[in-house]
Amino acid sequence: MPEADLHVHTTASDGKASPSEVIRLAAAEGLCAVGICDHDSTNGIDEALEEGKKLGIEVIPGVEINTDCGPTELHILGYFIDHRHPKLQDALNWLRSSREERGRRMVEKLRQIGVHIEFDSVLRASAGGAIGRPHVAAALVEAGYASDINSAFGKYLVRGAPGYVERVRFTPMEAVRLILEAGGIPGIAHPAKIGNENLWIDLIPHGLRCVEVYHPDHSVADQRRYRRMARERGLLITGGSDYHGPESIRFCQIGQPRIPYEHVEALRAAVERRAKQT
Ligand SMILES: [Zn+2]
Ligand SMILES: [Zn+2]
């Protein structure tokens, strides 16, 4: 049975593997389709598409937009987006430039408590991708302020720690709207991490169309729960490994978990139905 991994990161955000590496790994794992869903970026998609063409792997252009709903973080996935859509690109560019600004402010705040890292080493750690706390953490480890990424987070970068800076973000509703405008299918990522289901159920009337049932952080009971919710609320099912590459904070293998290809077909059918309506 053909299978897909619909949640993969690349070096276009905080992944450690390049888009072509990710596609080669997917091919080696016997997957037939991969959803490239970088945080706030679609810059890995063209390279992935090209490598996919060579290796016979279908690449689904996607994105994962990190949003804030009050104190809770919601990750909104988008599938089958037109990744060159100007409005989407404008919005993602804006988010990324605010990420850089945030990185600079974190470096500055750390300097005020006597922790000296260079913004350049943060930039280097991000390797041209969207800058995030993992890259500041890597710079802290490199400079000897922490033994590993996790302790760098704990000491300096978690909310409330001396280096923490709030970020500029969209609301979940704004992200859903943006994905719809770019012709995509919006979904909620790893709902078990959110806890309060009402936060994303509220998005369904606004166009949320799928739920990530399968994710490495989901227990079998979680999977059952979200499958049932999908059925009851008429949502499509997605899933994937949330792969971030080797030696990333959260290690997992590409394709673990993976989902039957029929879910990809259902997503595509939904995109085509919408295209006919408009
Ligand atoms: Zn996520
Ligand atoms: Zn992710």
Ligand 2 is an ion; its neighbours by CB within 5 Å are: 64, 242
Tell me, in angstroms, the distance from the centre of ligand 1 to residue 113's CA: 31
Q: Is the dihedral of CA 214, 36, 175, 82 positive or negative?
A: negative
* pLDDT tens column, 49-86: 999 999 999 999 999 999 998 889 999 999 999 999 99
Same domain (yes/no): 76, 181: yes
What is the predicted pLDDT for the residue at 142? 96
What is the predicted pLDDT for the residue at 250? 61
Cβ atoms of residues 26 and 256 within 8 Å: no
128 domain residue, yes or no: yes
| Nearest ligand to the CA atom of 245 | 2
Residues whose CB falls within 8 Å of the CB of residue 149, separated by 6 or more in sequence, listed in order: 134, 137, 138, 141, 249
What is the predicted pLDDT for the residue at 143? 97
Query: Could you tell me the CATH number of the domain that includes residue 151?
Result: 1.10.150
Q: Is the dihedral of CA 82, 83, 84, 90 positive or negative?
A: positive
- Alpha helices (H) along the chain: 19-28, 45-55, 86-112, 119-126, 133-142, 149-152, 172-181, 198-201, 220-233, 262-277
162 domain residue, yes or no: no
164 domain residue, yes or no: no
Last residue of a domain, one of 132, 157, 182: 157
* pLDDT tens column, 91-133: 999 988 888 899 999 999 999 999 999 999 999 998 877 788 9
Tell me, in angstroms, the distance from the centre of ligand 2 to residue 273's CA: 27
Same domain (yes/no): 201, 266: yes
* pLDDT tens column, 249-265: 566 799 999 999 999 99
Neighbours of 39 (CB within 10 A): 21
What is the predicted pLDDT for the residue at 276? 84
Tell me, in angstroms, the distance from the centre of ligand 2 to residue 66's CA: 9
Same domain (yes/no): 187, 248: yes
Tell me, in angstroms, the distance from the centre of ligand 2 to residue 244's CA: 8
Please give the Cα distance from 154 to 129 (Å, whole number): 23
Q: Is 4 helix (H, G, I), strand (E, B) or coil?
A: strand
Q: Give the structural domain span for 180.
A: 3-85+171-277
| Nearest ligand to the CA atom of 10 | 2
Tell me, in angstroms, the distance from the centre of ligand 1 to residue 112's CA: 31
Domain count, the chain: 2
Same domain (yes/no): 140, 204: no
Tell me, in angstroms, the distance from the centre of ligand 2 to residue 248's CA: 12
Please give the Cα distance from 267 to 49 (Å, whole number): 18
| Nearest ligand to the CA atom of 9 | 2
Strand 185-188 with 72-79, pairing: antiparallel
| Nearest ligand to the CA atom of 7 | 2
Please give the Cα distance from 136 to 107 (Å, whole number): 8
Tell me, in angstroms, the distance from the centre of ligand 2 to residue 276's CA: 30
| Nearest ligand to the CA atom of 8 | 2
Tell me, in angstroms, the distance from the centre of ligand 1 to residue 86's CA: 24
What is the overall mean pLDDT for the chain? Answer: 94
